[in-house]
């Protein structure tokens, strides 16, 4: 019996109001799963901080949040009775765009969304500041709406590849919390479940910030999708036991040859899948591709504070002064990826020629 794929009842982010007084309502993902708490992103500083601290996270969601962050960041220009010149507006737009671009370095969706917003100003050099502010809100809303449609396509294409009656391993979180819609890799899980494929999801906890344990398990259980939480170090064992028929993960930046940067631990999952001859799928929108880069080693990898590892949840687990290395991402080389699922189609085998062919680039 198949169930229909329902959009999540929660939304990682939601715009409220108009271009001059509106704000971005965000789920604070750092306190899930025990608290469903919202923050009101009514200043660009709050939105910047929410991105930096992973209160809002996930490549597509970061892009949507930054797009709205630009609208919010320009609102202070419009004070009652004050005339805003286009020159001043353009100066402030450049400042806010640069500020938001400095929040996190790896997810290319952030820069893609900011550039799309800046392009609106370039495309309308003669319009007034007030008119442009309205156009910027429309562009941010378009980015959000397109993201929702993208998730649906990723879900359909991804589900078509997932085997039935087996376990599917996933890493980090790629669901509605990481996007404006139903997710990327997560959408494939939801669509496969709804299609009656009888899958069982094995979710890596995903240290150090535990997006898998805290967020993916929460999303799967919200949707009634059979699931089991495992530690990252158990991925090989569940494969060895024959529990896993495929793995599917998201991405934060994919190069022209198909090297895919994703949450730390992704490379290990890809190598384990290769060894166990298990299909390894990457699911990501075309906005996650950076065709200016060829090799994964060129992708800027965010390094985060050591306390994420030494003091998870504020509890000290390592000696004071311990040396720590905390890269937030690694990358799976194209050679280890069975296929990359995009909203424009499936890239398989993963080669630069096929990347460009499917993306039409």
Annotated binding site for substrate: 57-59, 104, 211, 262-263
Closest CB 252 distance from ligand LNRAV4D5, rounded Å:
5
Is there binding between residue 57 and ligand LNRAV4D5 (CB under 6 A)?
yes
Choice between 245 and 250, CB closer to ligand LNRAV4D5: 250
CB of 247 to ligand LNRAV4D5, least distance (A): 12
User: Can you tell me which of 172, 195, 203, 247 binds ligand LNRAV4D5, judged by CB under 6 A?
Assistant: 172
Binding mask 263-302 for ligand LNRAV4D5 (x = CB under 6 A): x---------------------------------------
User: Tokens 């967020």 label which residue?
Assistant: 215
Question: Do you find a cis peptide bond into 33, omega within 30 degrees of 0?
Answer: yes
CA gap 247, 239 in Å, rounded: 10
Provide the residue count of the chain.
361
Cα distance between residue 343 and residue 358, in whole Å: 10
Q: Which residues pair with 167 in a beta bridge?
A: 200, 244
The reply on whether position 103 binds ligand LNRAV4D5 by CB under 6 A is no
Q: Which of 232, 252, 290, 330 is catalytic?
A: 252
| Helix (DSSP H) and strand (DSSP E) numbers for the chain | 12, 14
CA 94 – CA 348 distance, rounded (Å): 39
Number of residues that bind ligand LNRAV4D5 (CB under 6 A): 17
Q: Which x/- pattern over 220-249 shows residues binding ligand LNRAV4D5 (rule: CB under 6 A)?
A: -----------------------------x
- Window 326 to 345, contacts with ligand LNRAV4D5 (CB under 6 A): 328
Cis preceding linkage at 208, omega within 30 = yes
Interacting span for ligand LNRAV4D5 (CB under 6 A) from 172-180, 230-238, 312-320, 339-347? 172-180
Q: Which of 66, 74, 178, 341 binds ligand LNRAV4D5 (CB under 6 A)?
A: 178
CA distance 284 to 63: 13
Of 177, 144, 151, 146, which Cα lies nearest the Cα of 11?
177
Question: Cα(323)–Cα(306) distance, rounded to whole angstroms?
Answer: 8
Decide: is 184 part of the binding site for ligand LNRAV4D5 (CB under 6 A): yes
Nearest CB to ligand LNRAV4D5, comparing residues 216 and 310:
216
**Burial degree of 79 (CB within 10 A; 0-12, 13-18, 19+):** exposed
250 binds ligand LNRAV4D5 (CB under 6 A): yes
Alpha helices per DSSP H over the chain = 44-52, 59-74, 86-101, 108-123, 129-161, 185-194, 211, 217-222, 235-240, 266-275, 307-310, 352-359
Cβ-based nearer residue to ligand LNRAV4D5, 22 or 155? 155
Contact positions vs ligand LNRAV4D5 (CB under 6 A): 54, 57-60, 172, 174, 178-179, 184, 211, 249-250, 252, 262-263, 328
Please give the positions annotated as active site.
252
């Amino acid at each position: 019996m198949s169930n229909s794929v329902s959009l999540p009842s929660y939304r990682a982010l939601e715009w409220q109001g108009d271009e001059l007084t509106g704000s971005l309502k965000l789920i604070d993902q750092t306190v899930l799963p025990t608290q469903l708490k919202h923050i009101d992103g009514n200043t660009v500083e709050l939105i910047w901080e929410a991105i930096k601290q992973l209160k809002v996270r996930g490549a597509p969601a970061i892009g949507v949040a930054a797009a709205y962050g630009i609208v919010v960041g320009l609102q202070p220009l419009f004070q009652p009775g004050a005339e805003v010149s286009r020159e001043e507006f353009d100066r402030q737009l450049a400042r806010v765009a640069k500020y938001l671009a400095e929040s996190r370095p790896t997810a290319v969706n952030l820069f893609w969304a900011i550039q799309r917003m800046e392009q609106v100003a370039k495309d309308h050099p003669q319009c007034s500041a007030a008119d442009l502010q309205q156009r910027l809100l429309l562009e941010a809303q378009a980015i959000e709406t397109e993201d929702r449609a993208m998730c649906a396509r990723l879900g359909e294409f991804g589900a078509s590849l997932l085997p039935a009656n087996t376990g599917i391993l996933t890493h980090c979180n790629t669901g509605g919390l990481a996007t404006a819609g139903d997710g990327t890799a997560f959408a494939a899980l939801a669509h496969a479940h709804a299609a009656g494929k009888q899958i069982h999801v094995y979710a890596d906890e995903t240290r150090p910030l535990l997006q898998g344990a805290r967020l993916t398990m929460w999303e799967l259980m919200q949707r009634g999708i059979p699931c089991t939480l495992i530690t990252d170090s158990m991925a090989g064992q569940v494969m060895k036991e024959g529990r896993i028929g495929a793995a599917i993960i998201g991405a934060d930046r994919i190069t022209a040859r198909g090297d895919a940067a994703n949450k730390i631990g992704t490379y290990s999952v890809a190598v384990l899948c290769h060894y166990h001859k298990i299909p390894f799928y990457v699911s990501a929108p075309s906005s996650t591709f950076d065709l200016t880069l060829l090799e994964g080693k060129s992708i800027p990898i965010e390094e985060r504070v050591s306390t994420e590892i030494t003091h998870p949840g504020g509890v000290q687990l390592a000696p004071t002064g311990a040396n720590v290395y905390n890269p937030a991402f690694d990358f799976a080389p194209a050679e280890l990826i069975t296929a990359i699922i995009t909203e424009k189609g499936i890239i398989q085998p993963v080669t630069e020629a096929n990347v460009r062919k499917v993306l039409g680039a």
